[in-house]
A and B are shown apart, each in its own frame.
Chain A
Amino acid sequence: MERWTPSVVGMQLLTCPTCRGFGFELTPGGRHVKCEQCQHEDSVIGVMPDMVLYFSRRVNKVSVHGRRFLQWFHRLVDVICLVAALGSLGYGIWFVVQQTAQGQDTLTLLITPHSTIAWIWVGVLLVLFLIYRIASVSEQLKVLPELSIVQLQEHRLTGLNQWQAAHQIKGKSKLNLAEYLAEDGIRAIEDAVILATQLKHTSVTPVHVFASALKSPQASVVIGRLGLDSTTLIKKVASALHRLDTKEASKEVELSASARSALVLAGYFARHDKRPRVEATQLLQATLLQDKLLQEVFEDMDVDLRSVFNTVEWLHIQSNLRDRFKRWRSTRRAKPKGIMNRAMTARPTPTLDSIGQDYTQAARAGHFAPRIGRDKEVEEAFRILREGTGNVLLVGEPGAGKSTLLEGIAELMTMEDVPKALQDKRLVVMDPGALVAGASGVGGLEQRMQNVMHEIIKAGNVLLGIEDVHHLLGASSVGGSEDIGHLFMNYLSQGFLHVVATTTTEEFQKYIQPQETFLRRFQIVKVGELPPEDALRVLMGRSGMVEYKAKVFFSYAALAACVDLSDRYIKDRYLPSKALDIMEEAALYAAEKRGEKTIVTKEDVAAVVSEKTNVPVTSVGAGEAQRLLNLEQIMHQRIVGQDDAISAISSAMRRAREELRDMKRPISSFLFLGPTGVGKTETAKTLAQVYFGQEEQMVRIDMSEYQNQYSLDKLIGASGQQGHLTEAVRQKPFSVLLFDEVEKAHPDVLNILLQLLDDGRLTEGTGKTIDFTNTIVIATSNAASAQIQQAFSGGVSLEELKRQLLEQDLLKYFRPELLNRFDHVTVFTPLSFNEILEVTRRQLQGVAELVAKKGIFLEFSDEAVQDLATKGYDPKFGARPLRRLIQDTVDDALAKLLLEHKLNRRDVVVLQAGGLMTIRKAQQL
């Protein structure tokens, strides 16, 4: 798999050709002199579409201590000023109070010159000075110019000397990042210099900056969210530091070219993530990206680059949400409470209020979770609504976020951050179910609908939301002549209504698309399923609330697993809703299991998904690992012989469990060949039991029922219908899929099998795509049984036989491309007499277990086993006649004895050769 690297589209890193980005040249005497060309100013330049970034600040031991001393000194001066101001004011006021108490007039006292009263004014002067100090310090903090998405496109300087071209840019388009560092950013760089000096390293590398940035509180949050042990990480970084070259103690250390590049990259990340200044977290990102050794450290701890970048983004999302919350809190008060608009032109809407919910009021009260992403869809909806006569129809899969989009629109309306046409309006979302419920009598529903429409038109301040608008189509009251959908359509065509409606893709195709006149009133905004990376962002935004409710903390891996596992294993629902549900359940699961204030791990999420789907998705524990390693023995407890098949299946399952497989195809696929009664179906059942936990997790399709060309419709459904296979797999997406006697199926059916094995999905007659990537496909066939029998009696080796079958015999039944699609073609050998003996023993054991439930013991002698095996053995039909024989002789005889009351509890029945049964009576109690 390709290694993930963050996109730095929109920035080109250029280095000074003379000093290669270092900023200094080395004299023959080993001294650093400023590079003649870049003058140690912009030795590394990051070219962005709107400006160029560089880092120029001499950071050395003296400057570090100087800045920190000044910082300390400033704080000291502030404290002195404050104390002096309070002292002066206090002294002056105390004097005035005392004099007034002695009978002096206060006003006269204040306007008469008196040196003690001057202290009051000195105090006021000091207060003014303090105001100046605090305000002017905050002014020194520069904010990075914002970067819009439009600007963020591939941008490259061309020409031979690109650095020279960037170097010559002057003025506001050239940004020295040293002036845009947040306090933790400056500290990280300064600490890196001190660290490199202390360790006597030749220069400050990204590793030094990284190690120093790790100390910031933000970095601790990132490390915590990544689930890393900070001590181990620090140890590993320290060991990476000790691998760097050292120098003579006297020389001063400078930033290396790669460290400078990292600083410029950090500037890029800060602008990209819309941060005001370059913080320690961006330094972490940039240094990590710049240094392969650091990447190795993280990979050693099972954390990849993407996880680190996503975790930093998680912090930013949460901080942006906090900002947005503050903004919402300050602006929402301006939105009127209740139904009246600010212009006071609205009218009450009692009918609408009784069947709908005022989303703007709910948003004002803070009932909705914040909307994350979907900016494009909101923008599109607003563009349509701005037109004045446009109505929006949000079409998407259930759970893709249509309702959240409505809530988001309401939130923006509360803040009045909407087009003019929507300002001073409220969004009322009507429930078609509530409209129908409670409407009684002939024409009652139509009357109600009309009332609602009249109220909305008269009020003039309502943006109408309708969830599941398809319910309106075709609804009419008993005896009512008009469909309310048509009624609604008439109002829409008059242009007095503004509507945002939602419907699912399926209902849209089924009910709305055929109604062209209805559809014409709307403009469609597609709300597609969120891609996993966007769904992850939604989870990041919502995690805070879930953490607060369940009193737990999410690790990044847990959050990523919510998206990843739900995407892979929950196929009948859509992102982000299915991942959000898993997140909430995992939080409760972890809280229940380990109590409050615990960390929700990837394993908790996997356990929740496993519980829901019956698929083993938790990482392989010690017990399970042992079980997987001994899978052959476990399967042999049920299957006699067939070592080749069992070993192939076991290996495939081990690979599948460790996810060393193509995730876009079925877990594994087998073609079982061999005569009847040798254990093919039994193996499939055993596999369902071993891998999916129960034998019932098997879908069995008898292919002899699909012999003609119309069978295909039966299998995957004719147009608009469900198929046997697709419906069965939709209900049991995690199962063993057994195609019995596959050679008997019609070639068209086999072609479908080809697609299934190749793509891991089929499209049903209803248009739904059914996922097969979590099934184990097993096709069994008796084709070429005679050849297999012959080859075995002729002593042909298994390998030779397989080759012969694949190259000659099977081609009469199957197309070569189908044979090639199976992961394994396995030949089940005819059972030898010894194996039949073992099968007999196991089957008798089975009967013994059955009677043991009635308190009766069944014993059988070796002779009895031998006798039954001999009688039941038929090389043509394998072990199948044996089962019948045991039924006819042993089971029947036992049933008779039981019915005749000859057997009581604790009696022992002994089966002997020839089907003879003797009873050893138990002692009476």
Chain B
Amino acid sequence: MFGLTGQVIGFIAKDIVWNTVYFPIWWYTRGILRILVLMKHQVSSLARTLHLPTLFKYLLKPMYGYTDIISRIISFYVRIVQFIVLLLITLVVVVGLVVLLAVWITAPVLVLYGVAFHLGWIEFNLYALIAWNVGLPV
């Protein structure tokens, strides 16, 4: 009886210890890798939806089959504007994804700092520093 209870407690202890140790390791190795893969997928899916490569390829090709010079010039400008707009959208998404990566990397540190700071274990006030830097009234 004692043996079985011991085994069960062993199982649980091993699981808890392992998960506690492996959590930060995973976060900064495989976790980051997953975020990078996600970023890649999102960017390529966006590119597919916005057809950026196609647009770039046909930058000099007149639109709607009108090949006279005026149409060519209009086409070129329209395509440039379109290209810039779509590029901006892409940029916004890319920035968003980079922010996600940054949040992923800093989250555990910030969270641990938050706990330690509010419990009074750390006196250095990072929040006040940030707020002061961004000009918040603190």
B58 A107 Cβ-Cβ under 8 A:
no
B115 A347 Cβ-Cβ under 8 A:
no
Q: Which residues of A contact B131 (CB under 8 A)?
A: 107, 111
- In whole Å, how far is A537's beta carbon from the nearest beta carbon of chain B? 31
With known contacts A132-B26, A333-B49, A346-B64, A107–B112 Cβ distance under 8 A: no
A345 B111 Cβ-Cβ under 8 A:
no
B23 A132 Cβ-Cβ under 8 A:
yes
With known contacts A118-B119, A347-B65, A125–B112 Cβ distance under 8 A: yes
A128 vs B24: C-alpha distance in the bound complex, in angstroms?
10
Q: Which of A343-366 contact B (CB under 8 A)?
A: 343-347
A135 vs B111: C-alpha distance in the bound complex, in angstroms?
20
Hey, what's the 0/1 contact readout for B37-73 against A, CB within 8 Å counting as 1?
A: 0000000000011010011011001111100000000
With known contacts A135-B34, A345-B58, A129–B11 Cβ distance under 8 A: no
With known contacts A113-B118, A122-B115, A345–B64 Cβ distance under 8 A: yes
Q: Which of B71-121 contact A (CB under 8 A)?
A: 107-108, 111-112, 114-115, 117-120
A187 vs B118: C-alpha distance in the bound complex, in angstroms?
47
Say whether A714 faces chain B, with CB atoms less than 8 Å apart.
no
Select one of A73, A113, A331 contacting B15, CB under 8 A: A73
A333 vs B22: C-alpha distance in the bound complex, in angstroms?
41
Q: Which of A730-786 contact B (CB under 8 A)?
A: none
Say whether A481 faces chain B, with CB atoms less than 8 Å apart.
no
If over half of A's interface residues share one DSSP class (helix, strand or loop), that class is named, otherwise mixed; here it is: helix
Say whether A79 faces chain B, with CB atoms less than 8 Å apart.
no
Select one of A107, A111, A136 contacting B26, CB under 8 A: A136
Say whether A324 faces chain B, with CB atoms less than 8 Å apart.
no
Hey, what's the 0/1 contact readout for A456-476 against B, CB within 8 Å counting as 1?
A: 001110000000000000000
A136 vs B21: C-alpha distance in the bound complex, in angstroms?
13
Say whether A322 faces chain B, with CB atoms less than 8 Å apart.
no
| Size category, A interface | 35 or more
Q: Which residues of B contact A94 (CB under 8 A)?
A: none
A727 vs B36: C-alpha distance in the bound complex, in angstroms?
70
Select one of B64, B127, B128, B137 contacting A347, CB under 8 A: B64
Q: Which residues of A contact B11 (CB under 8 A)?
A: 66, 69-70, 73
A73 vs B14: C-alpha distance in the bound complex, in angstroms?
12
With known contacts A333-B49, A343-B54, A121–B118 Cβ distance under 8 A: yes
Q: Which residues of B contact A460 (CB under 8 A)?
A: 65
Say whether A42 faces chain B, with CB atoms less than 8 Å apart.
no
B34 A343 Cβ-Cβ under 8 A:
no
With known contacts A118-B118, A343-B54, A343-B58, A108–B138 Cβ distance under 8 A: yes
- In whole Å, how far is A134's beta carbon from the nearest beta carbon of chain B? 12
A128 B62 Cβ-Cβ under 8 A:
no
Identify which of B57, B118, B119 gathers the most chain A CB atoms within 10 Å of its CB.
Answer: B118
Q: Which residues of B contact A331 (CB under 8 A)?
A: 48
A343 B61 Cβ-Cβ under 8 A:
yes
A424 B54 Cβ-Cβ under 8 A:
yes
Select one of A118, A133, A344, A345 contacting B115, CB under 8 A: A118
Complex: chain B residue closest to A345, CB-CB: B61
A254 vs B15: C-alpha distance in the bound complex, in angstroms?
28
A125 B63 Cβ-Cβ under 8 A:
no
B30 A115 Cβ-Cβ under 8 A:
no
Q: Which residues of A contact B111 (CB under 8 A)?
A: 121, 124-125, 128
A333 vs B49: C-alpha distance in the bound complex, in angstroms?
8
B118 A69 Cβ-Cβ under 8 A:
no
Q: Which residues of A contact B7 (CB under 8 A)?
A: 66
Q: Which of A101-131 contact B (CB under 8 A)?
A: 107-108, 110-111, 113-115, 117-118, 120-122, 124-125, 128-129
Say whether A342 faces chain B, with CB atoms less than 8 Å apart.
yes
- In whole Å, how far is B96's beta carbon from the nearest beta carbon of chain A? 18
Say whether A139 faces chain B, with CB atoms less than 8 Å apart.
yes
- In whole Å, how far is B50's beta carbon from the nearest beta carbon of chain A? 9
A108 vs B30: C-alpha distance in the bound complex, in angstroms?
37
- In whole Å, how far is A585's beta carbon from the nearest beta carbon of chain B? 43
A135 vs B19: C-alpha distance in the bound complex, in angstroms?
13
Q: Which residues of A contact B55 (CB under 8 A)?
A: 342-343
Complex: chain A residue closest to B125, CB-CB: A111
Select one of A128, A333, A347, A459 contacting B27, CB under 8 A: A128
A416 vs B51: C-alpha distance in the bound complex, in angstroms?
12
B65 A459 Cβ-Cβ under 8 A:
yes
- In whole Å, how far is A60's beta carbon from the nearest beta carbon of chain B? 14
Complex: chain B residue closest to A121, CB-CB: B114
A110 B63 Cβ-Cβ under 8 A:
no
Complex: chain A residue closest to B128, CB-CB: A111
Say whether A334 faces chain B, with CB atoms less than 8 Å apart.
yes
Complex: chain B residue closest to A460, CB-CB: B65
With known contacts A73-B15, A129-B23, A343-B61, A110–B54 Cβ distance under 8 A: no
A107 B108 Cβ-Cβ under 8 A:
no
Q: Which residues of B contact A73 (CB under 8 A)?
A: 11-12, 15
A107 vs B125: C-alpha distance in the bound complex, in angstroms?
13
Hey, what's the 0/1 contact readout for A621-648 against B, CB within 8 Å counting as 1?
A: 0000000000000000000000000000
Select one of B8, B48, B114, B127 contacting A124, CB under 8 A: B114
Q: Which residues of A contact B128 (CB under 8 A)?
A: 111
Say whether B136 faces chain A, with CB atoms less than 8 Å apart.
yes
Q: Which residues of B contact A107 (CB under 8 A)?
A: 131, 136-138
Q: Which of A650-695 contact B (CB under 8 A)?
A: none
Q: Which residues of A contact B61 (CB under 8 A)?
A: 343, 345
A509 vs B58: C-alpha distance in the bound complex, in angstroms?
44
Q: Which residues of A contact B51 (CB under 8 A)?
A: 334, 342-343
Q: Which of A307-348 contact B (CB under 8 A)?
A: 331, 333-334, 342-347
Complex: chain B residue closest to A114, CB-CB: B118
A77 vs B20: C-alpha distance in the bound complex, in angstroms?
12
B15 A136 Cβ-Cβ under 8 A:
no
A345 B63 Cβ-Cβ under 8 A:
yes
B127 A111 Cβ-Cβ under 8 A:
yes
A69 vs B119: C-alpha distance in the bound complex, in angstroms?
36
Q: Which residues of A contact B54 (CB under 8 A)?
A: 342-343, 424
A333 vs B118: C-alpha distance in the bound complex, in angstroms?
49
With known contacts A73-B15, A115-B118, A343–B57 Cβ distance under 8 A: yes
B58 A111 Cβ-Cβ under 8 A:
no
A129 vs B114: C-alpha distance in the bound complex, in angstroms?
16
A132 vs B28: C-alpha distance in the bound complex, in angstroms?
11
A631 vs B7: C-alpha distance in the bound complex, in angstroms?
77
Q: Which residues of B contact A333 (CB under 8 A)?
A: 49
| 16 pairs from A and B in contact (CB 8 Å cutoff) | A111-B127, A111-B131, A111-B138, A113-B118, A113-B119, A125-B108, A125-B115, A128-B108, A132-B27, A334-B49, A334-B51, A342-B51, A343-B51, A343-B57, A345-B65, A346-B64
Residues on A lying within 8 angstroms of B by beta carbon are 66, 69-70, 73-74, 77, 107-108, 110-111, 113-115, 117-118, 120-122, 124-125, 128-129, 132-133, 135-136, 139, 331, 333-334, 342-347, 416, 424, 458-460
Residues on B lying within 8 angstroms of A by beta carbon are 7-8, 11-12, 15, 19, 22-23, 26-27, 30-31, 34, 48-49, 51, 54-55, 57-58, 61-65, 107-108, 111-112, 114-115, 117-120, 125, 127-128, 131, 136-138
Closest 7 CB pairs of A and B: A121-B114, A111-B127, A118-B118, A347-B65, A343-B58, A342-B51, A121-B115
Other A-B contacts than A115-B118, A120-B114, A125-B111, 6 sampled, CB-CB below 8 A, are A77-B15, A121-B112, A121-B114, A128-B108, A135-B34, A136-B22
